[in-house]
Amino acid sequence: MSIFVDENTKVIVQGLTGGQGKFHGLRNRDYGTKIVGGVTPGKGGTDVDGIPVFNTVKEAVAATGASASFVSVPPKFAAGAIIEAAEGGITFIVCITEGIPAHDEAIVFNRLVEEFPGVRLLGPNCPGIISPGKCNIGITSGDIALAGGPVGIVSRSGTLTYQALHELSQQGIGQTTCVGIGGDPVPGTNFIDCLAAFQADPETKAVMMIGEIGGSEEERAAEWIKHNMTKPVVSYIAGVTAPAGRKMGHAGAIISGSKGTAQAKMDALREAGVHVCLNPTEAGQKMVEIVKAL
Amino acid sequence: MDLFEYQGKQYFSRFGIAVSPGDIADTVDEAVAVAERVGYPVVVKAQVKVGGRGKAGGVKLANNVEEVRLHAGNILGLDIKGHVVHRLWVERSSDIEKEYYASFTLDRPNKTHLGMLSAQGGVEIEVVAEENPDAIAFLSIDPVRGLDLATARRWVAEAELDEIAREQAAELLVKLYDCYTKGDCDLAEINPLILTPEGKVHALDAKVTLDENASFRHPEWEEFRATETEDPREKMAKEKGLNYIGLDGTVGIIANGAGLAMSTLDVVNQVGGTAANFLDIGGGANADVMASALEVINSDPKVKVIFVNIFGGITRVDEVAKGVLEALKRVSISSPIVLRLDGTNAVEGRAILAPHLNDTLITEPTMLDAARRAVAFASA
């Protein structure tokens, strides 16, 4: 099985008529994802390569029965687009937009929690989610993933997600679902959400978790793993050598004082029984060992 | 983006937060002019983005024109932890009855805003948090609801600020929250927030960090950006639209994606090398971007080798390979280049480079192999 999405998930793309939205939306459709519509205000009634475009999410949902949305709009409009998706009846929102102000993200997160408790937001600033052979929403290249499981992947970083998929696929190890939660300070979906879903998914036998410096999500995940996770977890944390006080590319990847260091995260994970590896290749090899021994 | 104290105070003023009357001065004469205008005694304060100014001799009280000349002269040009003072803030000195602390920042684990208020200000809040955590009143604020005056009133009482200061402090905190949210700050901190013997509350210092993602709705930040003193390598990279952070090592690094770039630094370190920089060329890198990246790294005299680590996703490796060749035509690179190319169209990319490979343009099959090769060059 997969988590959050499957082969029946119907997806609309908010921003389908934009450059990025069109490129990735069509790529996702080519992969086999059920991309059933697009939303761009003022462009309702047109189509993008046969995909109907609607003025509002509400109209798109009414016409297509979509339950998921892929949000690919500029930072200025992203918060509004996410809320519109929730108001329009979408229950799973993937937002890849990078550069959304932190205050907008905080408001969106809390509005979703308070007004739309059944809605899950993935991202923003994330590569999306892929369940190999079933559904791909976002910017991950489908050909580096391998269907059939048994590994679930959850990652804060885009390129390291690809690296992890590559390390496993190359060795013939498939994935159930690969979730990129994104590197922003207020992610809609966190490590624990994904770990819990993988723990509950019978086809996922082991989990690869890729973290990075900044915040304390990895430490919280470690605490959760310690008490709830029975499946093996392999982790890699990027940024061991990152200097304090500098944002390493992602808005959320910053060491403040002594908080958020890779070392603290690795220590917490190790203490929770996680196999902590020092680079992506080592993590891939460790996972191969674990899967072969299953 | 971190603001200088004077910029933080100017930012506070826009939101109606009381600060001491003062102005900036770049020369001794300007400092005297400001002092004459605001009236003695004045405090002459070094404007640097680093803590510990007072201990380093960067903050001095001046009672008359001679003292202003003396202190301004000494402080201008002073090196405080590697930050040279080019600008002063001269303000009317305040008599202090009590020093408090107040700040707002994002509470990442709880996805809310966090207000911190303490009756023990004037010292580092980290020290207070460590030694006497009960002296800090924490307030979790729902970003949707915000902070109202009634809540602020309860908060100042809980923090046990002096009775006479409470109403003013509560009003000031609502304004500070306004500055923090409407002003798109990552951090808005006042330490110390003072109570004067006359019973007035105002901000004696200002520490403000702005969220650059919100730049699109703050054209007024342009003036803050103009005063940013940057590492010349970082300045050049920013002009070329690259995400670059200068470090002190000898292995220049180019990678696509922040995570992979961070990971590259780590792997170089694990095999005994040191990174000269963090550089993320982002998605869809073409010849221009690659040429700019190589150019920036090439300008760093400490760099002995360049490690290009690409995992093609949206970025196609054949495009990267073409970019490297194009860049080599345009820029004369003084260091050997080690490449690791994987992902989308990696086979095509390696084939494009194959005829050009030599002793100083090398490909390796994995990230680890490439890191070892690069570090070997750096130590040679």
Residues of chain A contacting B275 with CB distance shorter than 8 Å: 241
Check: CB of residue B274 under 8 Å from CB of residue B250. Answer: yes
Residues of chain A contacting B269 with CB distance shorter than 8 Å: 240-241
Select from 3.40.640.10, 3.40.50.1100, 3.40.50.261, 3.40.50.2020 the CATH code of B232-379. Answer: 3.40.50.261
Averaged pLDDT of chain B: 92
User: How far apart (Å, rounded) are the C-alpha atoms in residues B213 and A76?
Assistant: 10
Select from 3.40.50.1110, 1.20.120.1730, 1.10.260.40, 3.40.50.261 the CATH code of A140-292. Answer: 3.40.50.261
B116–chain A Cβ distance below 8 A for any pair? no
Average pLDDT over residues B120-139: 89
Per-residue model confidence (pLDDT) at position B284: 66
Q: Confidence class of residue B93 from pLDDT cuts 50, 70 and 90?
A: very high
pLDDT tens-place string over residues B1-15: 899 999 999 999 999
- Whether residues A249 and B258 touch (CB distance < 8 A) is answered with yes
Task: Report residue B121 as tokens.
Answer: 């200000």
User: How far apart (Å, rounded) are the C-alpha atoms in residues B361 and B131?
Assistant: 55
Per-residue model confidence (pLDDT) at position B376: 96
Per-residue model confidence (pLDDT) at position B77: 94
Per-residue model confidence (pLDDT) at position B243: 86
pLDDT tens-place string over residues B255-298: 988 899 999 999 999 999 999 999 998 776 677 888 889 989 99
- Whether residues B367 and A279 touch (CB distance < 8 A) is answered with yes
- To which CATH superfamily is domain A10-122 assigned? NAD(P)-binding Rossmann-like Domain (3.40.50.720)
Q: Which CATH fold topology does B98-225 show?
A: D-amino Acid Aminotransferase; Chain A, domain 1 (3.30.470)
Per-residue model confidence (pLDDT) at position A128: 96
Check: CB of residue B317 under 8 Å from CB of residue B345. Answer: yes
Residues of chain B contacting A163 with CB distance shorter than 8 Å: 260, 263, 311, 342, 367
Task: Report residue B335 as tokens.
Answer: 């260091």
Select from 3.30.1490.20, 3.40.50.300, 3.30.530.20, 3.40.1710.10 the CATH code of B21-92. Answer: 3.30.1490.20
pLDDT tens-place string over residues A69-114: 999 999 999 999 999 999 999 999 999 999 999 999 999 999 999 9
Q: Where are the domains of chain A?
A: 10-122, 140-292
Whether B226 has a pLDDT exceeding 90, the answer reads no
Per-residue model confidence (pLDDT) at position A61: 98
Instruction: Supply the DSSP string of B106-168, one letter for each residue.
Output: EETTTTEEEEEEES--SS-HHHHHHH-GGGEEEEEE-TTT---HHHHHHHHHHTT--HHHHHH
Q: Which residues of chain A have pLDDT under 50?
A: none
**Strand-pair partners of B308:** B254, B339
- Whether residues B262 and A238 touch (CB distance < 8 A) is answered with yes
ipTM for this model: 0.90
Delimit the CATH 3.40.50.261 region(s) of chain B.
Answer: 232-379
Listed by number, the residues of chain B in 156-175 with a beta carbon closer than 8 Å to a beta carbon of chain A are none
User: How far apart (Å, rounded) are the C-alpha atoms in residues A71 and A85?
Assistant: 9
Per-residue model confidence (pLDDT) at position B130: 86
Is B180 catalytic? The answer is no
Whether B314 has a pLDDT exceeding 80, the answer reads no
Sequence-distant (6+) residues with CB within 8 A of B173 are: B102, B115, B117, B147, B152, B155, B156
Average pLDDT over residues B42-53: 90
Count of helix runs (H) and strand runs (E) in chain B:
13, 18
Delimit the CATH 3.30.1490.20 region(s) of chain B.
Answer: 21-92
Say which of B143, B243, B311 has its CB closest to residue A107: B143
Whether B16 has a pLDDT exceeding 90, the answer reads yes
Chain A residue with the nearest C-alpha to that of B181: A103
Burial of B66 (0-12, 13-18, 19+ CB in 10 A): exposed
- Whether residues B259 and A100 touch (CB distance < 8 A) is answered with no
Is B239 catalytic? The answer is no
pLDDT tens-place string over residues B345-362: 888 999 999 999 999 999
B12–chain A Cβ distance below 8 A for any pair? no
